[in-house]
Structure 1
Amino acid sequence: MRLASFNVQNMRLRADHLDGARDRDMPEDLGPAAPLLDDYDRALTAAVIGETNADIIALQEVFDQPTLDHFHDTCLRDAGIASYPYRICLPGNDGRGLDVALLSRIAPQAIQSHAHLTPAHLGLDAPEGLSPHTPLFRRDCLEITFPALTLFICHFKAPYPDAAATWPVRNLEARAVCALIKRRFETPAKENWLILGDLNQPRHEDLPATAPLTSGFAVDLVARLPAGSRWSYHDTMDDFYARPDAILASPALARRFPKARPELIRSGLPYEARLYHGPRLDTVGTHRPHASDHAALVLDLPGL
């Protein structure tokens, strides 16, 4: 089994046109010329997905099911890049409608959104100032069960504009994912599961908000890579690199695949991400066109 996780940066369908991979927070991403590059962006997004050659892909920042289907049909299938018969994008809690999603060649056995859950549902203490009846997840934790593996697809609260102020929210999301897995499995450490997605871990944090997940509960497979090669995201405005994207494995799965290390596909990143010196896709530009401001993570689990 080959899996991937990819934040596709603000993918939204408007009539028959997909928004490009842009946040509209820079002059280059605004104005009448900016939309002219949208189709190039999404062709590059599709090319990166094709490069993953993954059986199952966890996506972040997809607007809705029609967006996912349109992207699949026009940019992936009709372009001869890839075909995924199973596509899932359920409504989450993001105010802009950017949800987590799934593309799969393997039929899921069960699909469960947890967007409705509150701290009260799971018996968790809410941070000061947050109601125990507020939704736990800023987007969702989408639970997908396959015959040999259960996935938990996440996209945590962004650490902007103040990482310290958002720490309690991201920490609550991390605690909630732990609670869900403990609720699902009697002995989580012995089961096969993965947490995939954008956990929005900032560059510097003395105590990571994601510590409930990574301090003895799950195994951070990206940490198996050399320290200098773990980054998956480039911030254009402040020119820094971070590793918000994660694949966390259950202890049982990590033991079963001791040599499994994620691969980062950075070929769709813009040339302004100067730390990457490898090959890029043909139409990638200095800022745009690009596939996303994130790299894709790919993991092989042979025989699963």
Structure 2
Amino acid sequence: MRLAVYNVENLFDRARAMNLDKWADGKAVLDKFAKLNALLGKVAYSGADRMRIAGLLVELGLEKSDSSEFVILRQNRGKLLRRPRTGGVEIVADGRADWAGSLELRDEPISEQAMQNTARVMIDVGADVLGVVEAENRPALWEFNTGLIATLGGAPYRHAMLIDGNDDRGIDVGLLTGEQFPIGNLRSHVDDRLPDGKPVFSRDCAEFEVTAPSGATLLVMLNHFKSKGFGSQQASNAKRRAQAARVAEIYQERRAQGYELIAVMGDLNDTPDSEPLQPLIEGTTLKDIFLHAVFDDGGRPGTFGPCGAGNKIDYILLSPALFGKVTAGGVFRKGVWPGSRPAKWEAYPEVSRPNEAASDHAAVWVDIEF
């Protein structure tokens, strides 16, 4: 059985702010979006809250309209604000109960060439069980599978499953499996909470039970941890550590319940030696596939961007019983922009410039003999 994980950075559509040429510009929009959403979710708005909400609405281009280049404000019932003729924004709601609606990011299509290259990666990796990170939703995952993969000559996966997560940008985690690897029981942890009442997981720690042809049950725990790109470093590190600790706890619970073949996979957004990941890396019996004797990293230790040691953020962590059944493994980088002068690795001919890359992430795969 070939097991793989791949952060596709969305299949069809991606938040427009995340597609800006300058990452700092997109980050600024997403930061403001997150801060405004948090303020809008408050039960009661203080005077300071109203001022900050109004300021952020203006900064996001919503001074004159409920729609801007990057975001949309939906006021379905009640009123959040009014717009005086003299300009500016005045918040008229006293709290979240006074209006029904939402703040949404505008999406835009991913380039056709990038979509095709994403499908090529999936086809060429040839996984029987493929964890997909940053998929928009299950219909999109299924359509990409039966449409684009099939159009390029690949064999579509028989099973596709995705549980909607906590992120409002449409970057969820899902699983594709072949005919001989049906998906059974599912568990979601979107509602796991921190002591302050906030969700533990930025997306989810989704659990999928997969049955192999031999009858063995593989438990896949698919994750996408908090990125380093938004909020303070201290807050981001604390969030990832809490996520790592909760995954470690779930892993220990499953082991105690008798599960022996467990794979914890996904984009953990930090390096193996980082403090936030230690509850998972050092605090459990899970083993990183990169450390297996048969694993081939292609001469580079990372999985993201230039693939240096500081960019090792995508993982397949295996329980001891599963680690002992590994026969091969590697990193597939042909869909990642290789740079130029000179190119860092062999990429598809269709990846002739950065925006044609399938993703900034490489796929990680491992062969397991059941």
Give the structure-2-normalised TM-score: 0.67
Q: Check whether the contact 1:21–1:292 (CA below 8 A) recurs between aligned residues.
A: no
Q: Check whether the contact 1:174–1:212 (CA below 8 A) recurs between aligned residues.
A: yes
Q: Check whether the contact 1:93–1:139 (CA below 8 A) recurs between aligned residues.
A: yes
Structure 1 residues 270, 295: closer, same or farther in 2, change over 3 A? same
Shift of 1:160: 1.7
Shift of 1:70: 1.6
- TM alignment of 1:206-285, pairs within 5 A: 207-217=274-284, 218-224=286-292, 225=295, 229-234=300-305, 242-257=311-326, 260-272=327-339, 277-285=344-352
Question: For the pair shown, which has the larger CA radius of gyration, 1 or 2?
Answer: 2
Pairs aligned (count): 277
Structure 2: unaligned runs, 5 residues or longer: 27-68, 70-107
- Give the alignment partner of residue 158 of structure 1, picking from 227, 231, 246: 227
CA distance, structure 1, for counterparts of residue 206 and residue 280 of structure 2: 16
Q: Check whether the contact 1:44–1:268 (CA below 8 A) recurs between aligned residues.
A: yes
Matched residue, 1:173:
243
Structure 1: unaligned runs, 5 residues or longer: 13-17, 120-125
Q: Check whether the contact 2:331–2:364 (CA below 8 A) recurs between aligned residues.
A: yes
- TM alignment of 1:1-304, pairs within 5 A: 1-12=1-12, 18=13, 23-26=18-21, 38-105=111-178, 106-119=181-194, 126=195, 131=196, 133-147=197-211, 148=216, 149-161=218-230, 162-186=232-256, 191-201=260-270, 207-217=274-284, 218-224=286-292, 225=295, 229-234=300-305, 242-257=311-326, 260-272=327-339, 277-302=344-369, 304=370
Which structure would you say has the larger RCO, counting Cα contacts within 8 Å and 6 or more residues apart? 1
Q: Check whether the contact 1:110–1:144 (CA below 8 A) recurs between aligned residues.
A: yes
Shift of 1:282: 1.9
Residue identity in the other structure for 1:134:
K
Structure 1 residues 293, 270: closer, same or farther in 2, change over 3 A? same
Shift of 1:194: 0.5
Shift of 1:108: 1.2
The ranges of structure 1 where at least 4 consecutive aligned residues each deviate by more than 4 angstroms after the TM superposition are: 18-22, 27-31, 225-228, 273-276
Residues 270-298 of structure 1, C-alpha deviations (whole Å, 9 max, x = no match): 13277863322121023121110000011
Q: Calculate percent identity across the aligned residue pairs.
A: 27
Q: Check whether the contact 1:61–1:99 (CA below 8 A) recurs between aligned residues.
A: yes
What CA RMSD, in Å, does the superposition of the two structures yield over aligned residues? 3.1
SS of 2:140's partner is: helix
